[in-house]
Amino acid sequence: AWAVATLRSMLSTSSRRYPELNVKVNCVPAAYNLDEVTAIAGLAKDDPLTVRFIELMPIGQGRNKDGISEEKILGLLEQKYGVLCPYDGNMGNGPAHYYELPGFRGKIGFISAISHKFCGECNRVRLTSDGGFKTCLQYGETLDLRSLLRSGGSDTEIREQLVKIIK
């Protein structure tokens, strides 16, 4: 509760000072923080920001934890705030989909890679902190871009390797 209150205060101040900013609050709900989901969503009530719930993926530290499905979160939010209406407006070009709630200034979004597969529409690539280039968080295949750059790989060679892994 303290963290949500602190975040709410910071976000309200920021949105008043910089109304042109497009603020997104991403969170990954799990069984141990399920009680915080409605409070986090409530951040979008008074401020024009987007709260996005990202499904926990069974990789890395999330491998042995229980994620929460989009349906479960929708149920919790509807119990507390009322019916969520799908939002068809443009909110970016990523895999999230969005909802509106009556009386909310902001939107609620979901990125649900497990319960609502979106592989066919995914347009994301990732650069890891150690220089790995990944086309999907769930795949083990990674291009060691750091080594390629440090070994003096040419622009052509780097481009060829990137195109190869993306295709």
The pLDDT value recorded for residue 44 is 93
The pLDDT value recorded for residue 85 is 96
Q: What is the pLDDT confidence band of residue 10, given thresholds at 50, 70 and 90?
A: confident
The residue with greater pLDDT, 48 or 33, is 48
The residue with greater pLDDT, 44 or 56, is 44
Q: What is the pLDDT confidence band of residue 15, given thresholds at 50, 70 and 90?
A: low
Over the chain, what is the mean pLDDT?
Answer: 84
The whole-number average pLDDT for the span 93-109 is 91
H helices present in 36-97, as ranges: 37-41, 43-46, 70-81
- For residue 106, give the 3-state DSSP assignment: coil
Q: How far apart are CA 127 and CA 59, in angstroms?
A: 16
Torsion of CA 116, 121, 125, 128, to 10 degrees: 0
pLDDT in tens, 62-96: 666 677 889 999 999 999 999 999 998 888 777 88
Q: What is the pLDDT confidence band of residue 50, given thresholds at 50, 70 and 90?
A: very high
Q: Please, are residues 93 and 123 in contact by the beta-carbon 8 Å criterion? A: yes
